[in-house]
Amino acid sequence: MTDQTTLIPNPVAQAADRTNTRKVFIKTYGCQMNVYDSVRMGDALASEGYVTTDRAEDADLVLLNTCHIREKAADKVYSALGRLRDMKKERNAEGRELMVGVTGCVAQAEGEEILRRSSAVDVVIGPQTYHRLPQALKRARQGERVVDTDYAVEDKFEHLPVPDKKVIRSRGVTSFLTVQEGCDKFCTFCVVPYTRGSEVSRPLAQILDEAKQLADAGVREITLLGQNVNAWHGTGPDGSTWGLGDLLYRLAEIPGLARLRYTTSHPRDMDDRLIEAHRDLRALMPYLHLPVQAGSDRVLKAMNRRHTAEEYIRLIERIRAARPDIALSGDFIVGFPGETDAEFEDTLKLVETVRYAQSFSFKYSTRPGTPGAELGSQVAEEVKAERLERLQALLLKQQHEFAESCVGKVIDILLEKPGRMPEQLIGRSPWLQSVNVDAKSSQIGDIISVRIVGTGPNSLFAERIER
């Protein structure tokens, strides 16, 4: 889970000296899709004359774009609202405006409850209605406290303005692109079906238009996003039904787009065409985030994952046969209700079998409204903590071993941003690792060949080579 400030460059930034210009500060919690949503909210506000700021203290509007996957994420939001309440009182005493909005999945899940718990909040907007944010703010300025968490009938993406090339370019040479939202899987531990709704795929033409706009502005790498991104489907030019694999083949044809990624996937939606795309497309990076959550078949069934550990392992074998250099990433939950010591050992065995280059692991967190919250046999916190420590130690060991295996390899990296040292840039390996290399800032956006010469705690070190 990320927790970061999202700064949205704005086409009206050059007009910041106008008296009617307002500043917005956006705090993003959670997944990559929330990061994408924050960018698009910034686009919607840009058309209303907002410019961004990296300081909440300077803002006329503060938006908290929230995550509801785990309990602590929601707690962070209410803690932040407490601080904003005090800031708002100070502003009111000075006769200055400060509006506060809560968006995203906590907004969708709790709605009116947010207004009840926090007097600071003016607007609550769900993830399907943030294109209506400008209208909600106008209502709020007239004294109304607005809650808009309906699942909008209209397509929000059609109502969002298209930023110009200069704005897109200022955001960097990589970009997220949402192609699918919602989830129909109903895993018993997860709130996503209740906060993001059922699975919806964006139309093919809409995705291709946005991808072309990004490429025309200098974006070299796109990561396709979805709660179950490999459940995406659409209608192809010939009227046939396309899946994510077909979409990737088409995106790989766009001039300027050198790299493609996608996340997050479900094992049940990894079809033959998608595996073929990993085999055939040079632009599709050899990195796959494919969560399994547990290694015990009984626990997987209780989680409603609808696959067994053996089926997952066989799927991994098929993917690796198609793309031998692929690196795997996964998600794991320890301490799901009723999980025994032996069942936790099954998870460790699965990890040993698959071997992950990167991973994310968590203690089970009860989410109100999910079937898992109603289950008995909740695992004690100290047991969950001990299991998590053991699992993370194993996963970290594998991550380090994968990084060490890269030393000596010659690979291509995409140069993305300045490093900590002068004349140093940070690039991205095909396997999503940060790579430090000596290069000039004018080379950002270039793809260069390097030899990996060392590893750090969270990155690789490389020297440039000519080839």
Strand 447-455 versus strand 459-464 pairing type: antiparallel
Q: What is the pLDDT of residue 266?
A: 97
Q: pLDDT, tens digit, for every residue of 240-289?
A: 999 999 999 999 999 999 999 999 999 999 999 999 999 999 999 999 99
Phi first, then psi: give them for residue 151, nearest 5 degrees.
Answer: -85, 105
Query: In the prediction, which pLDDT does 287 show?
Result: 98
Residues listed for the chain: 467
pLDDT (0 to 100) of residue 20: 59
Distance CA 188, CA 304 (A): 6
What residues contact 135, with CB distance under 8 A and at least 6 apart? none
- Sequence-ordered list of residues with C-beta below 8 angstroms from that of 8, at least 6 positions apart, any chain: 24, 26, 38, 39, 41, 42, 43, 45, 46, 52
Instruction: List the one residue out of 122, 124, 98 whose CA is nearest residue 111.
Output: 124
pLDDT given for residue 153 in this prediction: 57
Q: How far apart are CA 211 and CA 222, in angstroms?
A: 8
Q: How would you class 280 by CB atoms within 10 Å of its CB: exposed for 0-12, middle for 13-18, buried for 19 or more? A: middle
Residue 170 has a pLDDT of 85
The H or E element containing residue 438 is strand 434-438
Q: Which single residue is written with the structure tokens 């500060």?
A: 25
Q: In what helix (H) or strand (E) does residue 359 lie, and over which residues does it extend?
A: strand 358-363
Q: What is the pLDDT of residue 75?
A: 81
Here the tokens at position 276 are 């073929």
Q: Are strands 424-428 and 434-438 parallel, antiparallel or unpaired?
A: antiparallel
pLDDT of residue 404: 98
State residue 15's pLDDT score. Answer: 34
pLDDT at position 94 is: 87
Q: Tens digits of per-residue pLDDT, 116-169? A: 999 999 999 998 888 899 999 999 999 999 999 887 656 778 877 778 888 888
Q: For the chain, list residues with pLDDT below 70.
A: 1-20, 71, 152-154, 467
| Cβ atoms of residues 376 and 363 within 8 Å | no
Distance, in Å, from the CA atom of 305 to the CA atom of 288, rounded to the nearest integer, reads 18
pLDDT on residue 209: 95
